[in-house]
Amino acid sequence: YHRAPCRAVARCRHQRVLTCLDASGKAHHLTPMTDLIEIWTDGACSGNPGPGGWGALLIAGANRKELFGGAKQTTNNRMEMQAVIEALNALKGPSKVTLHVDSMYVKDGLTKWIKGWKRNGWKTAAKKPVKNQDLWQALDEACQRHDIEWKWVRGHDGDPGNECADELARRGTEQARGR
């Protein structure tokens, strides 16, 4: 994946602490599970399936980090899931997270359906294989490390964080197309 232009971010070598520089150059340490990190994610796909992208905006206080990437042949749901996986895996340690998603598929999958899928050997209630099992498993693992509050936001409805994540996802789609 690629990091979009953002303020400097570094991890201290001997501590599980994220150090960010704000606009004035002052260093702030984000200690795991003490500072709230707000994340907005989005996925995009040109054709479904087709080239697609994912984007994530991470904000902790005055610090922000933008991430995006893409795939040449994918679906919108896969890119929505990949955005959350990449955002959570970018955190250096267990964190308190408010996760804003515009995908009920991702939110409900993690908050309602996944326990049943796991209990049923990754089969749906209709006894069919769960679609995108590889990403659901990666997402489940990424979520285990964090204290997450899930928030659904309506896509393309003026939420600044969602609009930024959408723009990053579209950049990921363009990158996947080779542009």
* Alpha helices, H only, the chain: 76-90, 104-108, 114-119, 133-144, 160-177
For residue 63, count other CB atoms closer than 10 A to its CB: 22
Q: Which residues does the annotation mark as catalytic?
A: 42-43, 80, 102, 156, 166
Name which of 169, 167, 150 is nearest 39 in CA terms: 150
* Alpha helices, H only, 53-103: 76-90
* Alpha helices, H only, 91-132: 104-108, 114-119
For residue 121, count other CB atoms closer than 10 A to its CB: 9
User: Can you tell me which residue has the tokens 């610090």?
Assistant: 63
Four-CA torsion 135, 138, 144, 146, nearest 10 degrees? -80
- Three-state DSSP at 98 gives strand
DSSP letter for 44, please.
E
